[in-house]
Amino acid sequence: MLFPYQVTSHLVVPVEDIIDIANAPGLRVEFTRLVERTSARSVIIDLRPAVLTLAGVEVLEDTHAAAVHRSLPLGVSAPHRLARKVLHLTGADRLFPVHPDLPTALQPP
């Protein structure tokens, strides 16, 4: 279950659990719905687990596509080095900015 909240003009979506093949379909729908319905000016996925699976990367890429469709910037906060490395190795960090922590993600570009 997600508990998104707004900080200034950002919708922050904290992710506490690993995104894997079991929960990816539901999270994909939920993230897309949040992106489509938000009145915020940007969305930040606050990715808290250290592990990021391919299913998780694909959910983030699909969420990015939904955000692009709405001309809504999407960023990812990934405090764990391993998760940031996965985003780099898969090239996902070329689609959206990846930040080492939430305060950095909340800063203007």
Neighbour-count burial of 68, counting CB atoms closer than 10 A to its CB (0-12 exposed, 13-18 middle, 19+ buried): middle
Q: What average pLDDT does this structure show over 90-104? A: 98
Characterize the bridge pairing of strands 10-15 and 74-77: unpaired
pTM of the model: 0.95
Q: What average pLDDT does this structure show over 95-105? A: 97
Domains and CATH numbers, the chain: 5-105 (3.30.750.24)
Q: How many CB atoms lie within 10 A of CB 9?
A: 11
Nearest Cα residue to 59 out of 47, 71, 72: 47
| Predicted pLDDT of residue 16 | 95
Coil, helix or strand at residue 72: coil
Average pLDDT taken over every residue of the chain:
96
pLDDT of residue 99 exceeding 80: yes
| Predicted pLDDT of residue 106 | 96
| Predicted pLDDT of residue 109 | 75
- CB 16, CB 48: distance < 8 Å: yes
Q: What is the pLDDT of residues 69-78, one digit of tens each?
A: 999 999 999 9
